[in-house]
Amino acid sequence: MANEDSAEITLDATGCRCPVPVLKVEAALRRMAVGDRLLVMADDPIAAVDIPHFCRSAGHSVERAPDRRGACVFLVTCGEK
């Protein structure tokens, strides 16, 4: 759960094709503390499925946010590693 000390980082993976968006999300989450949030933008249609699947299977929470500039957007909260 996010608290006032949590950070929010933006990751723009637009223009990247599978599996690069998920690899970028994984790399970013490894550097983050539990409760930090990652705002991810990706325009690869497969990312709309792969990013939530990866996040949930790795123990992070993920929710879809309103799309921006033709990209799907996710808000990922870093879970226990």
The rounded distance, in Å, linking the Cα atoms of 60 and 80 is 7
Distances (CA, A) of 19 to 1, 4, 46, 51, 59: 28, 33, 9, 10, 19
The whole-model pTM stands at 0.89
- Confidence bin at 3 (pLDDT 50/70/90): low
Can you tell me the distance from the alpha carbon of 57 to that of 70, in angstroms, rounded to the nearest whole number? 26
Is 18 a known active-site residue? Answer: yes
Q: Give all domains of the chain, ordered by start, each with its CATH number.
A: 8-77 (3.30.110.40)
Cα dist from 32 to 15, 71, 75, whole Å: 24, 23, 14
Query: Which residue of the set 16, 18, 55, 78 is catalytic?
Result: 18
**Structure tokens given for 11:** 């990751």
Q: pLDDT by residue (tens digit) across 22-74? A: 999 999 999 999 999 999 999 999 999 999 999 999 999 999 999 888 899 99
